[in-house]
Amino acid sequence: MAFSANNAFSAREWSLAHSRSLTLGPAGLLMGILNVTPDSFSDGGQLASPRDVVAQAQAMSAAAAAILDIGGESTRPGADPVDAGTEQARVLPAIAALRDALPEAILSIDTYRADTARKAVEAGAHIVNDVWGLQREPDIAEIAASSGAGLCIMHTGRERRKLADVIDDQLAFFDTSLAIAGKAGVRDEQIVLDPGFGFAKDADENFMLMARFEALHGLGFPILVGTSRKRFIGHATGREAAADRDAGTAATTALLRAAGAAVFRVHDVAINYDALAVADAMIAARQRA
C-alpha cells in the first residue's frame, strides 16, 4: 500500500518480536535513546552501568517514551569503531536489566551486526534498528525474519557515492535495502524506514529532506526519524553544544509529524512529547476540517 500525506496517519500495526506490536499512524510515538557508550556525541559516558540505564529508562517511560533504543557503539562522525564483543558486553546486560525492571517496555537494539542483533533479541529486544540499512551485514535481515523482530532500516550516505538529488538517493538506497529484506523473508508489517538525518548529509541536504519529506511516503512504509541534537539543527539555531539543541529538535519533531513521520528517536523525551501533542492536535483538527 502506497502512503500519502493523508493516509500516513491511518492506523497500521508494527509487528515486533516476542508477540508484541505497536500501532503507528494516529499518534506520533517517541523512542528514547539509551547510549551505553563512552563516546556518543551528546550523552557518551552518562550510562555507565545497568542500574544507570534502568533509571534513565524509567524516567523516559514516565515521560511517555513508547520505545527504548539501546546502542553500544557510537555512530557519530569520526567515532572509533568497536568490535562485536565490546558492543555486546555493553548492550546485553542493559537489555537484560531493562527486561526485568520494565517488562512492559518495548526495547530496540541499535546495531548493524547480525550476531549482536540475534543475541539482543534473544535477551529480550523487540526491534532491530540498523543504521546501515541491511547493507553492511545483510544477514541481519534473516535475524529479523526468523525472530519476527521489528526492523528499522536506516538510510546512510556513508562509504558510497550518493546521487545528487536527496530523494532520488533515498529511493535508490531503500530499493536495495528492501530487496535484501524481502529476499530474507522479512514481512512488510515488520518494517519501518528511517531517512537517516545527519548520516553523511550536510545541513542543506537535511533541510531539503525535511522540505520534501512527504515524497518518502510513496515507499509504502511508516517512517522513523532521528534528528535529535544533530549538527544541522545547530547550524540553523546557532547552538554549538549538542545538549543545547533540544528545543530545535522539538521543532523538527512537530514539522516532521505534520509531514507524516510516525516515530521520533530523541534524547529529551519530555520536550518532544509536548511537540508531538501540539502537532497531533493540529492534525486532528485538519482531519475534521
| Model confidence pLDDT, tens digit, residues 105-143 | 999 999 999 999 999 999 999 999 999 999 999 999 999
Q: How many angstroms separate the CA atoms of 195 and 209, rounded?
A: 8
CA dist., res. 270 & res. 123, Å (int): 28
Give the model's pLDDT for residue 5. 55
Q: Average pLDDT, stretch 145-161?
A: 97
Helix, strand or coil for residue 130? strand
Q: What are the boundaries of each domain within the chain?
A: 7-288
- What is the arithmetic mean of pLDDT over 216-230? 97
CB atoms within 10 A of CB 80: 8
Give the SS3 label for residue 249. helix
CB 95 within 8 A of CB 58: no
Contact residues for 103 (Cβ-Cβ < 8 A; gap 6+):
none
Beta bridge partners of 22: 14
128 Cα distance to chain centroid: 10
Cα three-residue angle 133-134-140, rounded to 5 degrees? 135
Report pLDDT for 187. 98
Mean pLDDT, rounded, of the chain: 93
Residues 193 and 154: their CA atoms lie apart, in Å, by: 6
Contacts of 130 (CB under 8 A, 6+ apart): 111, 112, 117, 136, 140, 151, 152, 153, 154
pLDDT digits (tens, 9 = 90+) for 236-260: 999 999 999 999 999 999 999 999 9
Q: Which of 169, 54, 177 is nearest to 112 (CA)?
A: 177
pTM: 0.94
Active site residue 265: yes
- Yes or no: say if 193 and 223 are a contact pair by the CB < 8 Å rule: yes
Do 139 and 128 meet the contact criterion of CB atoms below 8 Å apart? no
Phi, psi of 38 (to 5 degrees): -85, -10
Contact predicate 144/109, CB 8 Å = no
7-288 maps to CATH 2.60.40.10? no
Query: What confidence tens digit (pLDDT) does each residue in 37-74 have?
Result: 875 444 545 666 888 899 999 999 999 999 999 999 98
- Residues in a beta bridge with 263: 29, 224
The band of 2, judged by pLDDT with boundaries at 50, 70 and 90, is very low
Catalytically annotated residue among 90, 113, 230, 231: 230
197, three cell numbers: 538525518
How many C-beta atoms surround the C-beta of residue 100 within 10 A? 11
For residue range 199-209, what is the model confidence (pLDDT) as tens digits?
999 999 999 99
12, 229, 231, 265: the catalytic one is 265
Vertex 262: Cα angle to 26 and 285 (nearest 5): 40
Q: Which amino acid is at 167?
A: I
The pLDDT of residue 84 is: 93
- Beta strand 263-266 pairing with 106-110: unpaired
* Percent share of the chain, pLDDT over 70: 93
13-17, 53-57, 177-181, 210-214: the lowest-pLDDT one: 53-57
